[in-house]
Amino acid sequence: MKRVNSALGILVLGALVVLSFNASADTAAPLTLPNTIHLPDINPLIPNCADPAADHFISLDLWQRPPAGATQVGVVHAWLTADGIFHWPFVMRVRNLGDQPFIGKPGKQNAVVTEDDIVAKTKDREVGSLKFDRIEPHGSMLVHFEFTAPRAAIEQHNFHRIYTLTLKLDETDQKALEGLYGDCHPANNKFHVEFDGSRTGWIFGN
């Protein structure tokens, strides 16, 4: 009986709390809000246009496989070939940040990766490219390239390269440059990554 009485007591107390809350809610002043509330006027994060961009992205190229006879460096998905050259495959990404498809003329747009070798004092060597004409909203595509260096340079950390992904559009196609399905934000058409053996971590995006 003690357990039953205790349970009844809890039920009665709960009912009183509910009744008390309802009574206070009925007597509370109505909530009033200002009629001037509005969302701020800012540029949308996702533009309602096409915006192909050199994405701030780099990854190991896990699709690449070492040739026969190469010695794999599995930790970083790289390999040494018999001639003593270290091969390290990567991908960079082109992505349409907009809400509309990008549509250009077939074969007239190109995503290019170039290499500046600070140690060797060479610039603008093309190491990867991909032609494109259409990218769906929020769609992407990968541009493959490979970092190569003599084994001794890797062991001594004696390398300094800059790899730049650049979108090159057809300058004669106004629709691809500024139309609804063209590039509405060309300022983000370039992204570079620095490989510097003298710094901890080696790889740095900018």
Q: What is the pLDDT of residues 63-115, one digit of tens each?
A: 899 999 999 997 789 999 999 999 999 999 999 999 999 998 888 899 999 99
Count of residues for the chain?
206
The domain segmentation of the chain, as residue ranges, is 52-205
State the sign of the Cα–Cα–Cα–Cα dihedral 71, 141, 126, 123.
Answer: negative
The CATH number of the domain covering residues in 52-205: 2.60.40.10
Task: Specify the DSSP element, H or E, that contains 149.
Answer: strand 140-150
Q: How many C-beta atoms surround the C-beta of residue 192 within 10 A?
A: 18
Q: Alpha carbon of 127 to those of 135, 170, 185: distances in Å?
A: 22, 21, 25
Q: Is the dihedral of CA 30, 35, 36, 37 positive or negative?
A: positive
**Residue range 148-192, pLDDT digits in tens:** 999 999 999 999 999 999 999 888 777 777 777 888 889 999 999
**d(Cα 32, Cα 166) in Å, to the nearest integer?**
54
pLDDT tens across 181-201, in order? 888 889 999 999 999 999 999
pTM: 0.77
Q: How many whole angstroms from its chain centre is CA 104?
A: 22
Query: What confidence score (pLDDT) does residue 26 get?
Result: 55
CA dihedral 60, 62, 65, 66 (to 10 degrees): 30
Return the number of other C-beta atoms located less than 10 Å from residue 143's C-beta.
21
The per-residue pLDDT of the chain, averaged, comes to 83
d(CA 170, CA 101): 17
Contacts of 191 (CB under 8 A, 6+ apart): 54, 55, 56, 57, 92, 164, 165, 205, 206
Residue 146's nearest CA partner among 89, 80, 78 is 89
